[in-house]
Structure formats: C-alpha cells, structure tokens
Amino acid sequence: MDFGAEALIEAYRPEPGACASHGLSQERLAFCVEYGGRFFSRGLAHYRQAMSAIGFGSGERLLDIGCGTAHWMLAALEGYRSVTGLDSKKEAVYLANRAADTLGVSDRMRAVVGSAHGLPFPDGHFDRVISHGVFHFLDPELAMSEVARVLRPGGAFYCGVPGPGSRIVLSLAAIAAEDLDSAEAQLRKFLGGAVRRTGLATRVFSDMRSLQVQDYASFGAANGLMLTATPGVQDVEEAFPNLPWSFDFVLKAPAKAATRREILQARFHGIGEEPEAFLRRLLRACLPRLACEAVVGDWLTLEAAGRARLLGLCELAMNEEPDGRVLDEAAAAMAGDAADHAYFQGLRALAAGQLGEALANFRRAAKSHEDALPLAGSCLLRRRDSRALDVFRGLLGRQPDRVWSVAGFLLAALNTGDRRLIRKAVRMTTERLESGIVTRC
Ligand SMILES: C[S@@+](CC[C@H](N)C(=O)[O-])C[C@H]1O[C@@H](n2cnc3c(N)ncnc32)[C@H](O)[C@@H]1O
C-alpha cells in the first residue's frame, strides 16, 4: 500500500479524451489534477500519521465526505477493509476512481458523486467518517445530521475546518496585495460568525460560515454525537501562536442510538448545566428551533422569567417578524435587570434593523455583557460609521485576547479607506497576533 509520490501522480493522470467520454469540464479537471499533485508530492505518510494521530488508523468501513483528490482515502486504505469517497465535483470523483483503478485497489476504494446534504448511503453504514476542508461550505446542521445517520452506534467522525487563523492570515495577505474588498470579505465572515454566536447573527451579516469548534459540538450534540477530542492536526503551517490555520475535532456516536429528545434531556441532566445556560448555548449554536422546542415543550423546567426571556430570544432568532407579545413578555421579565433589559432591547432593535436604537442599548449593556460592545461595533460597521474604529480600538484594550477585537479593528480601519491608518492597523494587529496575546474567538 505504500505508493511513492511518483506512482501517485502518475495514477492521477486523466486518460486521453476523458472529458468527452465522461462529460467532464476541462478547466475543473485541470484544477483537480494540479490540486492533487500538491498533496501527492508530499507522499501519503503525512496523512497516515494524521489518521493515526486522530485514532482513525484502522477500522472496517470509512467514508470521506468531500474527498476531493482522494489523498485521505488513499492513506486510509492500509487500515480499512473498504474506503468510500463522496464529492459534489464529478472531476474529483473521476480522478479518485481513476487512481484506484491504476493502483489496483478499486475493489476496496470507490468514490461517488453526491452531496453531503443527502448522503446516498444507508443508516449506520460506516464505523468511521472523515471530512477535511469541507464543512465550512455546507449547511452544517443538515450535513451533521447526515453524518450521524450514516454512522453506526459507537462510530466516530473526524472533521477539520479552516478557522479564524486562516481568515486573519488571508485578510492580511489581501491587504498587503491592496485587494481591500477581499480583505473586507474575510473579516466580515469572521465577525459575522462571532456575532452569530449571540443567537441573532443571521440578521447581522449575510454569509455565516465562520463557525468554531463549540458550534460543531452543539450540532453534533443535537444529533447524539459527543465531542471527544480536538487533535489539532494541521495541513498548513501555523500562522500565529495560538491561532492555527484550522481546527479539528472528533465526535463519537453513542453505543446505542438515542432519540433526539433523549439526547437533549440526557445532555441537560447529565452535565448539570443550568437550563438557561443550556438554552443560550443552543441559541448560540444557531439551533433556535430546537431551543424553542425545549422551552415550549415540557422538556425543561424553567422559572417563569427565564422561560419568557428565552422564548423572546428564540422568537427574535427564528422569525423575520417576531411575535410582539412574546417579546413584550420577555422584555417585562427582564425589567428588573437594567443591563439584561438593555441587551435584549438591543437585540430586538438589531433584528428590526433599527441600528441607532440597537447601538444605544448595547452601549448601556456593555458593562455586564461581554458581547454587547462588539455588537455595538458591528452596528456601526454596518452603517459605515467611522466611530466603529473607536469601539474596536477600545475593545483591543478591554478584550485583547479576542480575535474579534483584532478583526473588528482591521475592518473598521479598512472602512475608513485611509491607507496610512490601514497600514498602522495592520502593524498593530500583526504585533498582537505574533506576540500570542490573541487566543480566543
Ligand atoms: C477544499 S476541498 C477539500 C478536499 C479534501 N477533503 C482535502 O482535504 O483536501 C473541498 C471539497 O469539498 C467538495 N464539496 C463542496 N461542497 C460539497 C457538498 N455539498 N457535498 C459534497 N462535496 C462537497 C468540493 O467539491 C471539494 O472537492
């Protein structure tokens, strides 16, 4: 099974006339060949080591979702009876199967065209599923439920995704190349993801694929999968201390399949988490419907005030036109606590697009709500108001360990269009990143 780099690159060469005979795009095929070549020139040792580092060195049936050029699949062949790949790009699937044929392993390795959102495999079919560099393109909740479905009880899922480190590096590179639009797009994605964790981000930025390990852990938990490890396997060199390019995690399926209700109840009782904290976490993980079900259904016992407050938050997170009565009840339940009340009113105003009012409320809530100041900054950024720079400069002082302080400051500087200021902001943020102060998202 130890194919050398040359044999791999050779096996990965398309047969003459492949595009016409298999209905492939010349351009995409050339891209896949070039992409695969980069991985194969390394040999498979790197991926074998990675597989054993994550505890996936051997097993029965493995599925690679978004297998691309099949380097993970080829590395897995040694330890598995059968290896299946799935990719939405038919050029990648053609090349993976061509490599399997040429290397004489097609009886144990096959790739199919398909979508991670609807896996063409029966329930409980695989004991291992991996997906590297793919989940940030997907609807993560849907894809996770599919992973949970095809995993057999006791099976495990390994996932690696680009993280905030990559967004920061890519935006700094884009600024250096004077491609300010692409720098802005990267930073907005990061900040959007951070704001999403407040429970309401879909109203804040449009592209929300900047998730973190706790989000995926919550999607997993909602489908009965438990986070068991974050191995830190890296495909790309680390860019800054504490901020690796990507993050990864392993989720395990329970030995016996459980219903969703059992999963939530067990999770809530098992970890002894306060109901409100638990539901907030569901909201932050963008599972408002589930959170709402848990509050409205008789699953959890909440005091009246907690229930009203959470229902209000669920209402805001779920509905374009939230039910005014539910929101009024929630606001009344929070009237006793000025900062909570202001925070909620800020979220309410943000959902309604009333940025001025949202801003005033978030400022009021800033002392006791860690999220309130960045939310105020994001309101200003949306209005392209130059005061966003002051908010994020302040955040760099107050929350120096957070990526969102750095990303927000850079974005605010970009929005001013002042090149001297942008250069200064880049210098300042790079120093912070290099010194390793920034550790949290
Ligand atoms: C960045 S590549 C990663 C490939 C490989 N796993 C690796 O680690 O290099 C992302 C791959 O995901 C595939 N992909 C994107 N969306 C997909 C979907 N909805 N279902 C299946 N594959 C998808 C793409 O075609 C592409 O091959």
Pull the structure tokens for residue 355: 């940025």
Q: Is the CB of 89 under 6 A from ligand 1?
A: yes
Measure 153 CA to ligand 1 centroid, in angstroms: 26
Q: Is the CB of 115 under 6 A from ligand 1?
A: yes
Measure 116 CA to ligand 1 centroid, in angstroms: 9
Distance CA 135, CA 162 (A): 9
- The pLDDT assigned to 186 comes to 87
| Ligand 1 atom at shortest distance from the alpha carbon of 64 | 6
Q: What 3-state DSSP class applies to 229?
A: strand
Pull the structure tokens for residue 108: 């144990």
Strand partners, 112: 86
Instruction: Tell which residue, 360, 305, 307, has the closest CA to residue 336.
Output: 305
Residues 6+ apart with CB under 8 A from 37: 9, 12
Q: How far is CA 432 from CA 242, 407, 422, in A?
A: 11, 12, 15
Q: Is the CB of 88 under 6 A from ligand 1?
A: yes
Rounded to whole angstroms, the maximal C-alpha distance in the chain is: 74
Q: Is the CB of 147 under 6 A from ligand 1?
A: no
Measure 299 CA to ligand 1 centroid, in angstroms: 38
Best of 24, 41, 117, 134 to mutate for ligand 1, by most ligand atoms within 8 A of CB? 134
Structural domains in the chain?
A: 5-252 (3.40.50.150)
Instruction: Tell which residue, 199, 208, 207, 210, has the closest CA to residue 347.
Output: 199
Q: Is the CB of 66 under 6 A from ligand 1?
A: yes
Instruction: Indicate which residue's Cα is closest to atom 8 of ligand 1.
Output: 132
Instruction: Indicate which residue's Cα is closest to atom 26 of ligand 1.
Output: 68
Question: Beta-carbon neighbour count of residue 436 at 10 Å?
Answer: 12
Q: Is the CB of 162 under 6 A from ligand 1?
A: no
Q: What 3-state DSSP class applies to 251?
A: strand
Distance CA 279, CA 276 (A): 5
Q: Is the CB of 68 under 6 A from ligand 1?
A: yes
**Grouped pLDDT means (10 residues each) for the chain, 441 residues:** 78 89 94 85 85 95 96 94 97 95 95 97 97 90 92 96 88 93 88 72 54 82 88 82 90 82 61 68 69 72 78 80 87 87 88 89 90 90 90 92 92 93 93 90 81
Q: What 3-state DSSP class applies to 131?
A: strand
Distance CA 73, CA 100 (A): 10
Distance CA 189, CA 410 (A): 13
Query: What is the separation of C-alpha 157 from the centre of its chain, rounded to a whole number of angstroms?
Result: 15
Pull the structure tokens for residue 223: 């489908």
